[in-house]
Chain A
Amino acid sequence: MINPGTLEITSGTPQVRSVFFNTRQPIQTFMVSFRLQAVSLNPISTPQGVCLINQNNAAGAGAVGLGNGGLGFAGMQNARALAIYAVDTTRVAWGVAPGTTTGAAQLASNRPLDVTMNYVGTQLSVTIDDPALPGVEYIGQFEVGSLSTQLGNSQAFIGFSASTGTATNLGGATFHISDIAYSAVPAPGAVALGAACLIAARRRRDSM
């Protein structure tokens, strides 16, 4: 760790890495945010970048995918991921689908990006803010279906992966991840019911 809150998931030479929280988390509805910073990045033709992964792979928290542009995620069975990576430009993708150019939020050396991802129902929304470009943000909306069904469980391992080039196509980016916050948002029904009942009780008490 660069400090107790900053993970250096890659550190230069072509690498393939993953990091997973040891306890599975609910994935029916959730919100996750983190800061991604490329400390050194020289774009090459091989994708270099980071994935935020939800997975129920047989390897559990020890799962790691392929390098060579696979971002440490490609080939990982029973997994879904948000990929943020650089090739000619910065791209954002869900799963293994080809990415779309963000335009607004670019991975670049020493330019932190603040990523927020919300999953509600079957919809995934992603916002990426670049503090250097206030008022300009990437907003992506993905129809991803039921993660619980796709991953075979209402809970999954949460973590990150990254890769940085190949032995012959040297990228060697250093990626830092910090300020991660994952919250399994409670089902709206439970909180709404509780709140409605409390309000009803207070009104009845006040009317007595």
Chain B
Amino acid sequence: MSKRAVDAVFQGLYLLTDIRGILRDTVPSHTLSDKQKQEAEKIIGKLEKQISILKEELLA
């Protein structure tokens, strides 16, 4: 059992959902404000971390 991998999957899905939320908030142009860009950057950074965890847990 890799609880770490499972957590990373859910955390990744939640982070993607946060991005989905930003896309919904900014329809139809998807032009992000500076604050939204900072938020998106933070989310993507965290998402990359979750992907790294998945690589470590499942592919190493």
Partners in one complex: no
